[in-house]
């Protein structure tokens, strides 16, 4: 099969299209013919070697953590899905390839394109896992730090669907985007507490950090209790008594919940840019530069 591969850590130019061995679905897994895959921060962090100590890479490696496509192989003991189904989910083999093995998936809901479905994989699972740690959101005010990116834009819509009032932080250029998702925007950085107080004079009930920008202590102060704050990206969490969210936890359930919201029109995965697989290096550079509205997606 054709796949994007890299043979050493480095900048996006280490990525090249090559022939690679086909992966196969193990027990409880399935394989898809990939139609679209997304770029997540973990993909460019692994490619750049930033995670070399924590998660050493075996070369050659195929990047990519999620994808959408058509099921073409079903592993032993895998149930509830058939060859020909159109699914999206989390990849256990690199997803920037013609074929990828998924370990957790859901059927693509009718309103979504395959690009949107690919854009929903890791971010919707992570957003739901994060929101779940904060309890019932109906009628509560939630502060989302880093609300315009991949996980953030998913978390805004899903929190709104759960009945929360959402305050989201972003650079000013993304404030209209946040309003369009249903959030009240504020700018992140120094002075956050007073900007949040101005739009939420009755206070904030819970906060979810989706940026890992070092603001966790400020979020704890704003909310007043570390038990009501969670992060998907900040390693200082334990010292502050804040929960760290694992995006892959309960992934099958959470992807199904995301698909249900998609079917109801309550969650539409947002795409900043799409690139054909042949231009994966550009896609990585775009995602790594940050400040996207939603996701960068590869098409096959």
The site for ligand NAP (CB under 6 A) is made up of 40-42, 122-123, 126, 145-146, 148-152, 169-171, 174, 188, 210-213, 215, 232-233, 245-247, 290-292
Please report how close the Cβ of residue 215 comes to ligand NAP at its closest, in angstroms: 6
| C-alpha separations of 19 from 1, 194, 230 in Å | 6, 55, 41
Please report how close the Cβ of residue 274 comes to ligand NAP at its closest, in angstroms: 15
Kindly state the tokens that stand for 203: 């206070």
Kindly state the tokens that stand for 171: 């650079």
SS3 of residue 261 by DSSP: helix
Residue number with CB closer to ligand NAP (205 or 218): 218
| C-alpha separations of 224 from 166, 210, 217, 229, 282 in Å | 17, 19, 10, 9, 42
To which residue do tokens 């690009």 refer? 115
Kindly state the tokens that stand for 228: 């009501």
How far is it, in rounded angstroms, from Cα 70 to Cα 81? Answer: 11
Kindly state the tokens that stand for 136: 């019932």
Helix, strand, coil % over all residues of the chain, rounded to 5 = 35, 25, 40
Residue number with CB closer to ligand NAP (40 or 254): 40
Please report how close the Cβ of residue 233 comes to ligand NAP at its closest, in angstroms: 4
Residue number with CB closer to ligand NAP (20 or 91): 91
How far is it, in rounded angstroms, from Cα 90 to Cα 246? Answer: 13
Residue number with CB closer to ligand NAP (109 or 247): 247
Residue number with CB closer to ligand NAP (113 or 213): 213
Residue nearest ligand NAP, Cβ-based: 149
CB 178 within 8 A of CB 148: yes
Residue number with CB closer to ligand NAP (82 or 173): 173
Please report how close the Cβ of residue 259 comes to ligand NAP at its closest, in angstroms: 18
Please report how close the Cβ of residue 244 comes to ligand NAP at its closest, in angstroms: 7
CA-wise closest residue to 89 among 75, 73, 101, 77? 101
Please report how close the Cβ of residue 168 comes to ligand NAP at its closest, in angstroms: 9
Residue number with CB closer to ligand NAP (3 or 232): 232
Please report how close the Cβ of residue 149 comes to ligand NAP at its closest, in angstroms: 2
Kindly state the tokens that stand for 116: 């949107």
């Amino acid at each position: 099969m054709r796949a994007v591969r890299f043979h050493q850590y480095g900048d996006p130019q280490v990525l090249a299209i090559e022939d690679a061995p086909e992966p196969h679905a193990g027990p409880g897994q399935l394989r898809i013919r990939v139609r679209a895959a997304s770029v997540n921060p973990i993909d460019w962090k692994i490619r750049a070697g930033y995670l070399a100590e924590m998660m050493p890479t075996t070369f050659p490696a195929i990047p990519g953590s999620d994808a959408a496509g058509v099921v073409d192989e079903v592993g032993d003991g895998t149930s509830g899905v058939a060859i020909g189904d159109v699914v999206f989910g989390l990849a256990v083999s690199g997803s920037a390839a013609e074929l990828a093995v998924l370990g957790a998936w859901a059927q693509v809901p009718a309103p979504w394109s395959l690009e949107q479905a690919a854009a929903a994989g890791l971010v919707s699972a992570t957003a739901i896992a994060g929101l779940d740690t904060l309890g019932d959101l109906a009628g509560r005010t939630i502060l989302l730090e880093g609300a315009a990116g991949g996980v953030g834009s998913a978390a805004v819509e899903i929190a709104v669907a759960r009945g929360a009032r959402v305050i989201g932080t972003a650079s000013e250029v993304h404030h209209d985007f946040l309003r369009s998702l249903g959030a009240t925007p504020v700018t992140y950085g120094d002075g956050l507490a007073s900007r949040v107080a101005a739009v939420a004079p009755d206070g904030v009930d819970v906060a979810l950090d989706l940026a890992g920008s070092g603001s966790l202590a400020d979020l704890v102060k704003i909310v007043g209790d570390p038990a009501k704050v969670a992060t998907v990206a900040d390693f200082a969490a334990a010292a502050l008594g804040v929960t760290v969210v694992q995006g892959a936890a309960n992934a099958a359930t959470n992807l199904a919940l995301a698909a249900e919201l998609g079917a109801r029109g309550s969650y539409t995965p947002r795409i900043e840019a799409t690139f054909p697989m042949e231009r994966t290096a550009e896609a990585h550079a775009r995602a790594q530069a940050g400040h996207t509205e939603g996701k960068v997606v590869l098409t096959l």
